[in-house]
Amino acid sequence: MGAADTDRLAGKIAIVTGAGSGVGRAIAMMLADAGAIPALVGRTPATLHETAAEIAARGGRSLVASADVTDEADVGAMTERVAQELGGIDILALAAGIGRYGPVASYSLADWNATLATNLTAPFLCIRAAIPNLRARGGGSIVAISSGAGKQGYPNLAAYAASKFGLHGLLQSLAAELGPEGIKVSAVVPGSILTSFGGRSEDDKRAAMAADPDKKYLEPDDVAAAVLTILRQPAHVWTQEMNVWPF
Ligand SMILES: NC(=O)c1ccc[n+]([C@@H]2O[C@H](COP(=O)([O-])OP(=O)(O)OC[C@H]3O[C@@H](n4cnc5c(N)ncnc54)[C@H](OP(=O)(O)O)[C@@H]3O)[C@@H](O)[C@H]2O)c1
């Protein structure tokens, strides 16, 4: 008997946003390795197909479901398609996000709006669209990727921090709203991750680490592993927030 036969995630259907890169891709890969079927969501079909090809090469199954998660109609159509083609929705893993950093004094309204739309409004849209499907399964799990900047403000991160602080307000309210129906709502709160995010390439970050032994990053797999730990917990256990830091 393989791992997928015994894993509590085997056969579960999961929407994974941001699945074309970084943390979202790592979550999708781990879910597929566990025998779940991730629907791969992002704006760039080419990168989603790369994730799908990697999953297929490892013997897993996935569905490419491109969508702009800031677009209400797109999110609605994507959710309906996933539920129809895969037969339901059990899990929502929300990793899509953007990091546009800069001082407030010169920060553009366009960047502010894009940050709030992607990091806060999009989770609201994705969760709202999925609720009827989670209810139809008699329960489910929602896990969103926040950030240390969702708990503490930093210079040049005002818009990003505001979006992630807001995300915690959304998630805490939803946890109380949906918990009685068997839907668990959780946040993973990571420190810096070795991905091309926030205007710095992965190579740039590797070079910073090589130059300064105190500079540390998490790997995308570290954050995905936290998500999988939450998703594998027994029905009577709920982790509201999991803080994960480089060490
Ligand atoms: N990297 C860090 O240091 C760090 C630290 C703490 C928390 N986080 C959080 O971790 C999460 C994942 O980030 P990452 O580090 O893995 O960076 P990443 O590789 O840039 O991943 C972000 C993903 O979000 C997708 N995305 C962005 N806007 C979207 C939209 N409108 N519609 C659909 N998909 C969209 C991107 O794909 P497309 O561009 O193809 O749409 C991309 O695949 C984010 O929520 C981020 O805030 C990151």
Give the per-residue pLDDT at 213: 87
CA distances from 207 to 36, 164, 203, 245 (A): 36, 27, 6, 20
pLDDT at residue 178, as a whole number: 98
Q: Whose CA is nearest to atom 23 of ligand 1?
A: 18
E strands, 56-182, in order: 63-64, 91-94, 140-145
59 is written with which tokens?
């013997």
For residue 95, the CA-to-ligand 1 centroid distance in Å is 6
Write out residues with Cβ below 6 Å of ligand 1: 17-18, 20-24, 42-44, 47, 68-70, 95-99, 118, 145, 147, 190, 192-193, 195-197, 220
- Report the pLDDT value the prediction gives residue 6, as an integer from 0 to 100: 66
Task: State the fold for domain 3-244.
Answer: Rossmann fold (3.40.50)
Residue from 21, 194, 205 whose mutation best tests the ligand 1 pocket (most atoms within 8 A of CB) = 21
Q: What is the pLDDT of residue 84?
A: 98
Contacts of 51 (CB under 8 A, 6+ apart): 19, 20, 25, 28, 29, 40, 62
Residue nearest to atom 2 of ligand 1 (CA): 193
Per-block mean pLDDT, blocks of 10 residues, the chain (247 long):
67 98 98 98 98 98 98 98 98 98 98 98 99 98 98 98 98 98 98 94 91 94 98 97 97
* Probe target for ligand 1 pocket from 64, 157, 195, with the most ligand atoms within 8 Å of CB: 195
Catalytic residues: 160
CA 125 to ligand 1 center in whole angstroms = 16
